[in-house]
Amino acid sequence: RREELAQLRWADCDFQWRSLHIKDKVSEAGRDIPMTPYVASLLASQPRRNEFVFSSPLSAAGYLADPLTPLQRAMLAAGLPNLSPHDLRRSFGTLAEWVEVPAGVVAQLMGHQPSAIAEKHYIVRPLDLLRAWHVKIEAWILEQAGVTFDAQQPGKLRVLTG
């Protein structure tokens, strides 16, 4: 969710164990999700101006409070349709089905409440299990987008055409 990421602090990013602690609208304690290799490379490249990962020197809060305008500019520059952060969130859930990710894993990654009794009381998914699926989703999306990313050499990124 936009609000969950907007306030992401560097202290919430564990690059050693590849996890993010996300503030959650459902649980005050928040939740931990896996940090995928590509996302880790993007976050590591962010400037460290203050405590916030998505900092904004022009914002009174210190972080990018409304990402819609910069997102729209980036999509226009890339020749992509005008999508909102919530559109991208819905796309993640839909695209995960192409990789045959269990629905409960997708729901947990997205921060949804468990919807069935078994999900609430019997199924425990450790971070490493979520990571295995999350990395698989990321790799498939990058492949479909024609993006070559070598997790061993995160600075080397290129788009394949044709």
Structure-token pair, residue 44: 């590591």
Structure-token pair, residue 40: 């880790």
Evaluate whether 84 touches 75 at the Cβ level (below 8 Å).
no
pLDDT at residue 84, rounded to an integer = 83
The question of whether 1 is a catalytic residue gets the answer yes
pLDDT at residue 138, rounded to an integer = 93
Which of these is catalytic: 2, 9, 89, 125? 89
Which of these is catalytic: 21, 31, 112, 136? 112
Mean pLDDT for the chain overall: 84
The question of whether 131 is a catalytic residue gets the answer no
Looking from the CA of 96 toward its CB, the CA atoms found within 13 Å total: 21
For residue 114, the 8-state DSSP code is P
148 membership: H or E segment, kind and range: strand 147-149
93 membership: H or E segment, kind and range: helix 85-98
Task: Give the whole-angstrom CA distance, residue 20 versus residue 54.
Answer: 14
With a cut of 70, list the residues of the chain below it in pLDDT.
1, 26, 114-122, 153-162
The question of whether 134 is a catalytic residue gets the answer no
